[in-house]
Amino acid sequence: MIQESEYKNRREAFAKSLKKGSVSVLFSAEYQTRSHDTHYPYRQNSNFYYLCGFTEDRAALVFVKEKKDTKIYLFVYKKEKQEELWNGKRLGKERAKELFDLDDVFDESELTAKLKSFLDTKIKRLYYDFKLDYSKVKLLKRYAKEVECFQNAATIIERMRLIKSDAEIALIKKALHITKTAHHRAMKKVKELEYEYELQAEFEYMFKKQGAQSDAYTSIIASGNNANTLHYIQNSDKIAPDRLILIDAGCEYNYYASDITRTISSSAKFTKAQREIYTLVLDVEKAIIAMVAPNVLRSALQKKAEQLLCQGLVDLGILKGEVQKLLKKEAHKKYFPHGIGHWMGIDVHDQCPYKDTKGKEIPLQKGMVLTIEPGIYIDEHDKTVAKKYRGIGIRIEDDILVTENGYENLSKAIVKEIKDIESLASS
């Protein structure tokens, strides 16, 4: 768990980034309608959660920075017996004052009046998340007539989120431990299941059974040619024998994500052609992971991955020609169309910048967490490729922590060697 002292340090760091004579307002997430009067399960806004760890809706976090000091206030929805009867207990103002190290806590009903007093003529800047819905922006600007400058609070927080603390890394490791058991269970049970959704159910069962709040994203259970649709989430097809199944699935534990892809065989044995493509992707993944270290650029990882995959595709006869010419023509992107990886943390695609404020690429630094996920995707209708390779889609993905001198593969315990996958499937 992340302690209140860490949240306090984050709030203080955020406050230091604000200009004097400013107000910053962050809102909690709202319930999202599923249909009519039903809602999706609630999840807090990631930036709001990062600064305070408060998980209820109808809340706001307000920073008022004057010349000498900064006051930080939390607004929470009041405790109300009838509302709690239907929707569950609320923390309430008094309990929030005990738990959070803030200057004060108010009822959410006081927010409008307080904003009016905060946004007086001394305040020249207003920070808020530019992705706010219009109704909240309208509320803020109603009392910001003297404000000279509007700035995006989200960009400050998302830069902070780039470097993970020890507590954050521990939560990611816990999420990955749960995800490991789910992937290994899927490998063991694959031969006895008929449909993609049955495999998906195994993941959801293992996630919930071990205390994960949910999956970190909708699982991809893509058998056969479905693996060549990168964001395939229907998970409805019958699994044919001797086909590969690309499984991209990870849980979220206490708001921290895992993101893992493994590719397994429906019959527990890889064919020769499947082995050839799989070995190419695995070798490239290992090579790119080995490059991870402080001061390395993600673009360098991308470039090297494309070079290695292109060379491998030429070696297998899938691409024809000189590697450098093929790279220049981007011929390889037909089979590897996506990036080598992304930041990961509170969000599976963590909302952190890839470039600094001057537009320069941010190099890897100790404490960053990113995915490495090369893949090869060959559509079953691609007659330019030998028939034995058609319909094969393979991606292998791990979650990597940048350390002081290199990297730590946080997901190394999730097997990915062909012999280990086949062994689990046969056990």
Looking at residue 201, its pLDDT comes to: 98
Q: Which position among 95, 185, 349, 390 bears the catalytic label?
A: 349
CA distance 126 to 149: 6
Question: Contact 136/115 with Cβ under 8 angstroms?
Answer: no
Decide if 39 is catalytic.
no
Is the per-residue pLDDT at 121 higher than 80?
no
106: left (phi over 0), alpha (psi -120 to 50) or beta: beta
Model confidence pLDDT, tens digit, residues 198-254: 999 999 999 999 999 999 999 999 999 999 999 999 999 999 999 999 999 999 999
Decide if 349 is catalytic.
yes
Q: Which position among 37, 166, 192, 404 bears the catalytic label?
A: 37
Looking at residue 68, its pLDDT comes to: 82
Q: What is the mean pLDDT of the chain?
A: 96
CA distance 132 to 119: 18
Decide if 101 is catalytic.
no
CA distance 282 to 289: 11
Q: Which position among 50, 73, 377, 407 bears the catalytic label?
A: 377
pTM of the entire structure?
0.97
Decide if 381 is catalytic.
no
Decide if 342 is catalytic.
yes
H or E stretch at 99: helix 92-99
CATH code of the region 166-426 = 3.90.230.10
Decide if 104 is catalytic.
no
Decide if 373 is catalytic.
yes
Q: Which position among 168, 397, 398, 422 bears the catalytic label?
A: 397
Decide if 248 is catalytic.
yes
Q: Which position among 373, 398, 399, 422 bears the catalytic label?
A: 373
Q: Which residues pair with 149 in a beta bridge?
A: 125
Q: Which position among 243, 262, 298, 342 bears the catalytic label?
A: 342
Domain ranges of the chain: 4-160, 166-426
CA distance 166 to 163: 10
CATH classification for the domain delimited by 4-160, as one of 3.40.350.10, 3.40.50.150, 3.40.190.10, 3.40.50.1980:
3.40.350.10
